[in-house]
Chain A
Amino acid sequence: MIELTRLCKRFGKRGEICAVAEVSFCAPAGQITGLLGPNGAGKTTLLRMLSTLLVPDSGHARIAGFDIVADRQQVRRHIGVLSDARGLYPRLSAVENIAYFGSLYGLTNRALDERIALLLETLDMRALAHRKTEGFSQGERMKVAIARALIHDPPVILLDEPTNGLDVMSVRLLRGFLRALRDQGKCLIFSSHVMSEVATLCDTIMVLNHGHLIAQGTADDFRGKTAQTSLEDAFFALLEDDEQKRSAA
C-alpha cells in the first residue's frame, strides 16, 4: 500500500544535514507499521514527505499506487494524517470542525452527515458533538482531530507521535481505535520514540537512526537478533550497534 524506494531528504543551505537517507520499505494494507527512532532520527521528515508537504530530494514513494510528487492531489485524497499539529477552530463546534474538512475533501450533505455520525459513534464523542471546541481536554481534542483526519475514509493513515501529551485513558482508546482500523484493512504508519508504545501496537517495526533505516522486523525478531529479553534493551542495543558502525566508518 505504501512503497518507499531509496527516499532521501537533506536540509541546510548546502544540504549538509541528512534527515532521511535512502530509506526503502513497504507498508502493506491491514497492518500497523511502526516507525521507531530517537528524536531527530527522521521520522517526522519521512511522514511529512509521505503527507506531500515535503518534496524528496531523490528516490520516490507510492501511496495506494500514486506517486507522492507527480500525483500529489490523488495522494492527498488517499491519506489521513494525524500530526502533532492538531489545532482546532475554537469557535466552531466539534462537528463543524470535522464537517469543514469533509467539505474540502468534496463530501456533501448526505455522505458527509453519515460519515460524521459514524465517526462520532466509533470515537464515543456524541456528547461533544455540538459543543465549541474551546476548552476541550487533550483527549477530546485528539478525538476531534482523528475524526477530522479520517473524515474522507482514507485507505492510508499516517500518525506522527499521536500519543504525545495524552493520558492513559486516551492512549488506550486510541490504540483500540487504530486496531479496529487495521482490522478493516487500512494501512497505518505509526511513529513514536517509545519502544513499548510501538511494540504493543505495531505488526512490523522500522527502526530509524540518523535518517537511516537500521533494522526492520517484528518485536520478537528484534529480541532474537539482539539477544535481549527486554524490548527497550533490544532497541538500545540496536542503536548502540549503529552508532559504533557509524563512528568506525
Chain B
Amino acid sequence: MSSLFSWRRAATVLRKECLDAFRDRRTLLMLLLPPLLVGPLFLMLIFNLIATQSERAQTLTLAVQGSAHAPALIAFLERQQVTLKPLSDDYENQIRRGHIDIALIIPEDFPDDVAAGRAASVQLVYDRSRDRSQVIIAQVEHLLAAHGREWGRMRLLLRGIAPEVAAPLKIQATNLATPQQSGALLLSLVAFYALFATLTGGMAVALDAGAGERERQSLQPLLITPAQPFELVTGKWAAAAIVNTLVVALTLAGFYLTLRFAPLPAVGMPFLFGLAEVGRFSIALLPIALLLPALHFFVGIRGRSVREAQASTSVLLLLFALLPIAQMLLQQREPDWIAAVPVAGHYTLLTHALRGDALSNTDIVWAYLVPLALLLLVLIAAAQRLNREARL
C-alpha cells in the first residue's frame, strides 16, 4: 500500500470496462431492449384489463329467463339501463366459457308467491372464479337487492309503517382513496418491475469484470501492474454501475413514454407516471442501482468461475426480489425502520411515489445512507479479496 489511490488509474480501468461492455453487443442488447419493450407491453396489458372491466360495468347486459313472470322487476331493470336479452338453454356452458357473465332465472311460481305475500325467489347463475365477471356480478346483486328494498318499503308504507322501522341502520361510506391511489394498488407491480431492473441491470458486466477476469486468466497480469486492488475494484464497479443506471433509466423512460404517448385505452383512473414520478423513482432507485453492482462483483470474485459466480448471485437476487413480494403479500402497515432496510425500504419509497405522495426527507436520508455505507464496505472487502487473490 505504498502509493495513494490514483483516480487516473481507476478511470483507465473504468474506460476499459465500459469499452469491453459496449463491445459485447449481444449481451448489451439483451440488457437494454427488454426494459424498453417489456415495461410498456406489461402496462398495455394492465390497462386493457382495467378498460374491459369498466366497459363491461358501463353497459350491463343481463340474460333473463322467464321475464314474463315478473314485469315489475323487468321494468325496474330497464329503468336502470340494463340491457336484457333472452337466455338460451345451454346457459351453464356459455357461462363456463365466458360468453355470458351472469344469468337471471325467474321461476314460474314467482307471481303466485308475490300474490300470496311470500318471499318470491329468483335465481342468479354465474362463475365467480372469472375475474372480469366480478364487477358485473356485484352490480347485478346490488340492483336486485335495491329492487327488493324498494318493494319492501312500499309494502310497509301500505301497512302504515314507516320504512325506517325495518331499516334501523343507515350506512354512509366515504372512500378516502383518490383514483390515483386505487391505481397505485394495481401498479405496485410497476414498482416491482423497476426495482427488479435495478437488481439485475449491472449483473452481467459486474460478473464479467470480476469472475470473468479470473476465468480468462487476465487477473494475475493485471495485479502485477502498479494498479492498486482498490483502484481496480472502483473502476470495475463504476462501469457496472453505469450500465445498471442506464438500464434503470431506460426502464423508467419506457414507462413514461408508454403512458405519455402510446394509444392506451381511456381508463377512468387517472394513473400518473409523469416527470415528477420519474424523478421520485430515480431518487429512490439510485442508491440501489449503485450498491447492487458492487455486491454482484464481490459475490462474483469469490466464485472460481463465471458459472459459480452466476449461481451465487442468483441466490442473492432471489433474496432481494423476495423482499418486495413479501411486503406486497403481507399488506400490513410497515414499521418505520423499514426505511433503513436496503431494497425493502426502497420498494416502500416507490409505492409512496406511485401513490402521488411526496417522499419524506428522513426516508430519503436512510435510503441513501445505508446503501452508500454498505457500498464502501463491499468495495473495500472486494479489494482485500483481490489482494489475497494475488497471494494464492
Give chain A's interface residues, CB within 8 Å of chain B.
51-55, 71-74, 76-77, 79, 81, 83-92, 96, 100-101, 103-106, 132, 145, 148-149
Contact = CB atoms under 8 A, between A and B. Distances in A.
B217 A87 contact: yes
A88 B218 contact: yes
Interface string B218-233: 1111111111000000
Contact of B224 (A52, A87, A100): A52
A73 B2 contact: yes
Interface string B377-391: 000000000000011
7 contacts: A53-B390, A84-B217, A85-B219, A92-B16, A92-B23, A104-B9, A104-B12
Residue of A73, A86, A104, A105 with most chain B CB atoms under a 10 A cut-off: A104
B23 A104 contact: no
A90 B217 CA distance: 12
Contacts of B376: none
Nearest to A51: B224
B3 interface: yes
B334 interface: no
A84 B218 CA distance: 10
A83 B221 contact: yes
A86 B217 contact: yes
B8 to A, nearest CB: 8
Nearest to B235: A104
Interface of B: 2-3, 8-9, 12-13, 16, 19-20, 23-24, 213, 216-227, 390-391
A101 B217 contact: no
B331 to A, nearest CB: 47
Contacts of B16: 89, 92, 96, 100, 103
B20 A103 contact: no
Binding site of B, secondary structure by majority: helix, strand, loop or mixed?
helix
A92 B390 contact: no
Contacts of A90: 216
Contact of B221 (A74, A92, A101): A101
Contact of A89 (B218, B223, B391): B218
Given A88-B216, A92-B19, A149-B221, A106 B391 contact: no
A74 B2 CA distance: 9
B20 A104 contact: no
Contacts of B20: 89, 91-92
Contacts of B213: 87
Contacts of A87: 213, 216-219, 221
Contact of B23 (A55, A73, A81, A91): A91
Contact of A53 (B3, B23, B391): B391
Contacts of B226: 73, 76-77, 104-106
A9 to B, nearest CB: 11
B4 to A, nearest CB: 10
A90 B3 CA distance: 31
Contacts of A51: 224
Contacts of A74: 2
A73 B221 CA distance: 15
Nearest to B11: A103
A79 B24 contact: no
A86 B217 CA distance: 6
A74 B218 CA distance: 22
Contacts of A84: 217
A2 to B, nearest CB: 16
B218 A91 contact: no
A91 B24 contact: yes
A71 B3 CA distance: 10
Contacts of B8: 106
A53 B19 contact: no
Contacts of A148: 221
B224 A79 contact: yes
